[in-house]
Amino acid sequence: MSTRTPLIQRSQELFERAQTVIPGGVNSPVRAFKAVGGTPRFIARAEGARLWDADGNELIDYLGSWGPMILGHKHPKVQAALRAALEEGTSYGAPTEREVRLAELVLQAYPSCDMVRFVSSGTEATMSALRLARGYTGRDRIVKFRGNYHGHADGLLVQAGSGLLTAGGGSARSAPSSAGVPQAFAELTLVADYNDPESLEALFASQGPEIAAVIFEPVVGNAGVLIPTPEFLEALQGLTRAHGALLIADEVMTGFRLAPGGAVERLGLEPDLVCWGKIIGGGLPVGAYGGKREIMEQVAPSGPVYQAGTLSGNPIAMAAGIATLEALAEHPPYAQLEAYGQALQTGLEEIARSAGVPATLNRAGSMITLFFREGPVQTYAEAVGSDTEAFKRFFHGLLEQGIYWPPSQFEAAFFSAAHGEAELKATLEAAEAALRNLAA
């Protein structure tokens, strides 16, 4: 792997062209490298743990398309399923067997859920789950946590993480994180602090009877990785039950990544509703929400809560999802991902320590963040106290050496079952050079 600054002329040309026809040159903000500066790489192709950019530079991928690619790129089983589905047709607007099969696979992994509805993105999943929670409880307010991100529906762009955090969104309680979100919508969204049970208790004490649901990331990826404390999880489960509010686990990022039954299995939680996305679509646009029959039967056409989609349950997307979940069930990669993660964690911690760079590593399975500050980092406030200038230099140091880490301090890096010894060695060598350079 070369340590010389790579040629990125084609990416530069494409980015210039893109900026004239697409806002910011990208179709999702974090791709534009605003937090780290420089030119985003345009990707030409991918295989296994690697990407190739438009100039032919080879990159070890720690984005995994922001989560879906747990098997690595172009997994043979997924590719074969896609080819077979394509031969049959692409979209009918009528039900297909694949939707039933994917629903069965998702529900087998989540015993707390009896039914699931497919949509086309994580945003649609959380937005629809909240509508259902409101319809079911007859209450209007919802609670989310500062720095958690649940997609870009109006009511959820309040104190939101991910790209909003990177861009420095609004800071007052219940203030929208985006222009265009009416204050009146934002006011229905109450904000508590992650890993702070008292802040949740205070909201329930003052507004309990009006709260339809609490939505949360069971392991946060969107402020960088934050691990929930047992006291926090106990409060979430206990307070929602005591006040008749629904507990909505947003497993869009963690579902099928942290365990076959996601973070809720790992943490022993019993949510009322679960949202999925990313992995269940195997790299194609799929989201879903599910829960107990009694709640899910409120969704149209069985019940009065309306939700629909022209491309929902699209056969090509279902094929990729089925192949991915079947491959995960046949050869569960979780022990291997844990071993890779442990080795990457130990290596990065050791390199940072010996280079004298203040850093804290948070990891859950195959989700990892190196925060540039002393630890512990358990809360949103602690995460945003990181040295983002140091992160920037680390990021570019890695990228120049062919390691594509997420371009923001406040995002999780993901690795896949296709990451092995060669990727680990190259990553740690590049990190060593980048962190020594940072300390120099």
Neighbours of 373 (CB within 10 A): 19
Is residue 253 a contact point for ligand PLP (CB under 6 A)? yes
Coil, helix or strand at residue 70 = coil
Tell whether residue 149 is a contact of ligand PLP (CB under 6 A): yes
Piece of the chain touching ligand PLP by CB under 6 A; list 56-64, 85-93, 101-109, 215-223: 215-223
- Residue numbers 100-129 binding ligand PLP by CB under 6 A: 121-123, 126
Query: How many residues make contact with ligand PLP (CB under 6 A)?
Result: 17
Q: Which is nearer to ligand PLP, 66 or 380 (CB)?
A: 66
Closest listed residue to residue 341, CA positions, set 366, 317, 318, 369: 366
Nearer of residues 151 and 402 to ligand PLP, judged by Cβ = 151
User: What is the spatial distance between Cα 130 and Cα 137, in angstroms, rounded to a whole number?
Assistant: 11
How far apart are alpha carbons 132 and 124 in whole angstroms? 12
Closest CB to ligand PLP among residues 66, 415:
66
Instruction: Report yes or no: 404 and 59 within 8 Å, Cβ to Cβ.
Output: yes
- Determine contact, residues 35/386, Cβ cutoff 8 Å: no
How far apart are the C-alpha atoms of 18 and 1, rounded to whole Å?
Answer: 29
Q: Is 278 a catalytic residue?
A: yes
Q: Which residue shows structure tokens 């989609």?
A: 309
Return the residue of 112, 128, 166, 222 that touches ligand PLP, per CB under 6 A: 222
For the residues of 342-357, what is the DSSP string, one character each? Answer: HHHHHHHHHHHHHHT-
Closest CA to 387 of 357, 349, 426: 357
Between 275 and 352, CB nearer to ligand PLP: 275
Question: Which of 10-18, 30-38, 135-143, 249-257 is the region at the interface with ligand PLP (rule: CB under 6 A)?
Answer: 249-257
Instruction: Report CA 405 to chain centroid distance, whole Å.
Output: 15
Instruction: Tell me which residue of 255, 427, 242, 423 sits closest to 328, measured CA to CA.
Output: 255
Give the range of 7-15, 83-91, 248-256, 295-303 binding ligand PLP by CB under 6 A: 248-256
Our CB check for ligand PLP shows the closer of 10 and 266 to be 266
Q: How far is the CB of 156 from ligand PLP (least distance, A)?
A: 8
The verdict on 347 binding ligand PLP (CB under 6 A) reads no
> Cβ of residue 8: shortest distance to ligand PLP, in angstroms?
26
288 and 117 Cβ atoms separated by less than 8 Å: yes
What whole-number distance in Å separates Cα of residue 365 and Cα of residue 347?
15
Say whether residue 250 binds ligand PLP (CB under 6 A). yes
Q: Does 31 bind ligand PLP (CB under 6 A)?
A: no
Asked if 11 touches ligand PLP (CB under 6 A), the answer is no
- Paired strand residues for 290: 116, 274
Q: Which is nearer to ligand PLP, 285 or 420 (CB)?
A: 285
- Catalytically annotated residue among 110, 250, 272, 289: 250
The nearest distance, CB 286 to ligand PLP, in angstroms, is 9
The residue whose Cβ lies closest to ligand PLP is: 122
Is the sign of the CA dihedral 282, 286, 292, 294 positive or negative?
Answer: negative
Examine residue 63 and tell whether it contacts ligand PLP (CB under 6 A): no
The yes-or-no answer on residue 250 being catalytic is yes
Q: Does 358 sit behind a cis peptide bond, omega within 30 degrees of 0 on the bond before it?
A: no
Which residue, 123 or 366, has its beta carbon nearer to ligand PLP?
Answer: 123
Between 281 and 402, CB nearer to ligand PLP: 281
**Of the residues 40, 48, 151, 291, which one makes contact with ligand PLP according to CB under 6 A:** 151
Q: Which two tokens stand for residue 103?
A: 């629903």
Q: Is 414 near ligand PLP (CB under 6 A)?
A: no
d(CA 339, CA 243): 41
CA 22 to chain centre: 24
Give the DSSP H/E element, type plus range, for residue 151: none
407 binds ligand PLP (CB under 6 A): no
Q: Does 277 bind ligand PLP (CB under 6 A)?
A: yes
| The pair of three-digit structure tokens given for residue 370, joined into one six-digit string | 């190196």
Sole window of 55-63, 214-222, 263-271, 340-348 interacting with ligand PLP (rule: CB under 6 A): 214-222
Q: What is the DSSP string of 123-144?
A: HHHHHHHHHHHHHHH---EEEE
Site for ligand PLP in 279-298 (CB under 6 A): 287
217 touches ligand PLP (CB under 6 A): yes
User: Least CB distance from residue 236 to ligand PLP, whole Å?
Assistant: 15
Give just the sign of the alpha carbon dihedral 101, 103, 106, 112.
Answer: negative
What positions carry a catalytic annotation? 149, 250, 278
Contact footprint for ligand PLP (CB under 6 A): 66, 121-123, 126, 149-151, 162, 217, 221-222, 250, 252-253, 277, 287
